[in-house]
C-alpha cells in the first residue's frame, strides 16, 4: 500500500461542523429537488445537509474508486435513477480528489450542483461548492475510517 505524504484526521465533530458550513452555503442556492449522495463517503455529509436544508428526497449513486489508498478507474455500480439529468438536484460527496469520480457523476447529472466538504487542487475545478481545500498529497482520514488509540509522546519517537 502506498502511503500519502501527509495525513489530515477529521473528527466526527469537525465533519459535522464542516457539513453544516456547506449546508449554510448551499441554502441560499436552493430550494433543491433532492440530494444525490455519492457512496460511500458522501452518505453522512448528505444526511447532515439534508437535515439542515429540510430536504426529504435522497438518492444515491454508488461509485467504486478506491481500494484502501489505491485509486482505480471509477465504476458506477448503481445509477441515481430518480435524479434525471440533475436539474434542481444537489450532488454531495465528502471529498473531490483528482476529479475522476466527480467528472463521471457530472456526466450522468450535468445540470446538478456539485458540492463537497473537502477539495484537492486537481479536483477543485470540477465541483461548484466546497468548504476546505487540502493539498494534493494529503490523505484525509475520515472518522468512519479511524478509531482513537494511544499515541506515544513525540519525545519517545525518532528525532
Active site residues: 93-94, 97
Would you say 117 and 142 are in contact if contact means Cβ atoms under 8 Å apart?
no
Residue 75: Cβ within 10 Å count: 11
Beta bridge partners of 97: none
Give dist(CA 99, CA 48) in Å, integer.
23
Residue 69: Cβ within 10 Å count: 10
Determine the angle formed by the axes of helices 12-27 and 43-53, rounding to 10 degrees: 50
- CB-based burial label for 33 (10 Å; 0-12, 13-18, 19+): middle
Q: CA-CA distances (angstroms) from residue 111 to 61, 94, 107?
A: 15, 20, 9
Amino acid at each position: 500500500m502506498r502511503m500519502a505524504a501527509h495525513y489530515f484526521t477529521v473528527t466526527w465533530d469537525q465533519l459535522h461542523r464542516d457539513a453544516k458550513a456547506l449546508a449554510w452555503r448551499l441554502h441560499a442556492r436552493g430550494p433543491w429537488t433532492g440530494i444525490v449522495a455519492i457512496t460511500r463517503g458522501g452518505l453522512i455529509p448528505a444526511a447532515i445537509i439534508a437535515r439542515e436544508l429540510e430536504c426529504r428526497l435522497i438518492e444515491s449513486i454508488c461509485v467504486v474508486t478506491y481500494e484502501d489508498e489505491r485509486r482505480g478507474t471509477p465504476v458506477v455500480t448503481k445509477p441515481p435513477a430518480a435524479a434525471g439529468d440533475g436539474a434542481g438536484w444537489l450532488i454531495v460527496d465528502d471529498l473531490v480528489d483528482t476529479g475522476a469520480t466527480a467528472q463521471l457523476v457530472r456526466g450522468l447529472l450535468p445540470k446538478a450542483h456539485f458540492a463537497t466538504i473537502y477539495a484537492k487542487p486537481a479536483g477543485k475545478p470540477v465541483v461548484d461548492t466546497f468548504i476546505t481545500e487540502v493539498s494534493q498529497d494529503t490523505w484525509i482520514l475520515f472518522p468512519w475510517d479511524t478509531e482513537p488509540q494511544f499515541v506515544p509522546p513525540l519525545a519517545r519517537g525518532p528525532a
